[in-house]
Structures are given as C-alpha cells and as structure tokens.
Amino acid sequence: MIEFGHLTHPGLRRDLNEDTYYGDGELALWLVADGMGGHACGEVASALARETIVREIRRGASLAHAIRIADEEIIRTSRRRNDSLPMGTTVVAARVQGNRYEVAWVGDSRAYLWRDGTLAQLSQDHSVVQEMVAQGNLTAEQARAHPHRNVVTQALGVTDPAHLNVATTHGELRPGMQLLLCSDGLTEEVEDAGIARTLAFDDASAQECVDTLVAAALDGGGSDNITVILVRCH
C-alpha cells in the first residue's frame, strides 16, 4: 500500500509561489516542478510541465519521454507568447509500478530514498556547483554556501530539446521505504541530516512528516518557495 503526503508554501521572501506539484496514487505518479524565478512566468512553466507530464503518462509514455515532451511544450508556448526571456522550470518525478520505482529529473529539484534507517539522495543536481563538486574543485559543504549554488545547467523550457539531459534512476520499493521529492526551497534551508531525522519518526504519518519538513524550511529562513512530497510504502 502507498501513502503520501504533500505541501507547498511560497516561503517567507516571495510573494508568488512558482512551484507546483502533482500526486496521484492511482496513476502512481508524483512530481515537483520549480518554476525559475529569474525567468518570465516561472509559475506558468511549472504548471505546463505538470499538465504535460500527467497527460503523457496517461497516454502510456515513459517518464523520461513525458518530460521531454514537456520541454518542447514550454518552449513552444514561450515562443507563441513572444516572451523576452524563455520561461523555465526544474522537475523531479517518480512512478511506482508494482514493487519498482523510477525517478527522473531535470535541474536541481531532488529525490531522496529512505531505506533501512538511512537517507540517500537519488538525484544529482544539474547545477554549476554540482559540476564543480564532481570535478573535485568544491566540497559538498562548500557547495551549500556557494554564491552560484542556485544556477542550474538544465531546465525545461530553457534547454534545447537536442541537449536536454533527462536523468533517471530506478530500484526496488519495499515496505518501510520512503521516496521524498522536493524543490530546492527545502534543501536550501534543511540539511540532509535534518530531513533524515524527520523521516525516522515511525509514528508520524507521511503528511505529518511533510508538514514538519516545510515548517523546518520556514524556520531556517524560508528564502524560496518550498514544495515537498513524501511517498511511503507499507
């Protein structure tokens, strides 16, 4: 059985919430999209990503293909609107089929897996600082405070479809495991250790865990929109 909790919050420094999300136990699809505030109409881009991915999954598309179609759709819409800047969004999405999960992402919205009392980050940010970490020029700790930590190298609506890197990973989802999807509004304010402490509460519902995580991000400063989805396998 799958249980999930979900919440989005504009944060404490933004008037507009450009994040969006989707959760459907029957379709077994969950996603978080973070509209890019530095571009025009981030909230339009994230909503378009959500609608397109859900539509394509319902039509039988794979997760990666649905995300590629969303990229094309956002680019087309932006051109029709004659936007001076392309509108963009990150996305992280998960599907569960039987006892298997698949996660796909573009940008720096993240997916984590809680398994056997340990939290592991499934996704790898498509970002300038993550590339520097991968090259050994920056530690993970330095990356957290780097001035360019929010600069993504891939985004739907911004990256040309020919160069779009839809990263994917998959694995087994056993009872007791939890999948966490979030925008960077959570990870900017709450370290992985803090996320792990929250997911360790066996007595709390998935929704209570999500509420706790969003509250922790607000307590940490709430500098960005915050969106969290927690999918729990019983």
pLDDT single digits (tens) 141-180: 888 889 888 899 999 999 999 999 999 999 999 999 999 9
Number of structural domains the chain divides into: 1
Q: What distance in Å separates the CA atoms of residue 50 and residue 227, rounded to the nearest whole number?
A: 14
> Which domain range does residue 104 map to?
2-233
What was the pLDDT predicted at 149?
A: 87
With CA atoms as reference, report the closest residue to 39 among 147, 143, 159: 159
Give me the CATH number covering residue 146: 3.60.40.10
What pTM value is reported for the model?
0.96
R_g over Cα of the chain:
17
Does residue 130 register a pLDDT over 70? yes
AA identity, residue 232: R
Q: pLDDT above 70 covers what percent of the chain? A: 98
The torsion angles phi and psi of 74, rounded to 5 degrees, stand at -70, -40
The answer to whether 64 touches 104, Cβ cutoff 8 Å, is yes
Residue 40 is predicted with a pLDDT of 58
**pLDDT confidence bin for 24, thresholds 50/70/90:** very high
C-alpha–C-alpha distance, residues 159 and 116, integer Å: 37
pLDDT in tens, 93-121: 999 999 999 999 999 999 999 999 999 99
Q: What gap in Å lies between CA 69 and CA 84, rounded to an integer?
A: 22
* Chain segment 201-230, per-residue pLDDT in tens: 989 999 999 999 999 999 999 999 999 999
> Is the pLDDT confidence value at 39 over 80?
no
* Nearest Cα residue to 106 out of 129, 134, 127: 127
Question: What percentage of the chain exceeds 90 in pLDDT?
Answer: 85
| Contact indicator for 71, 105 with CB cutoff of 8 Å | no
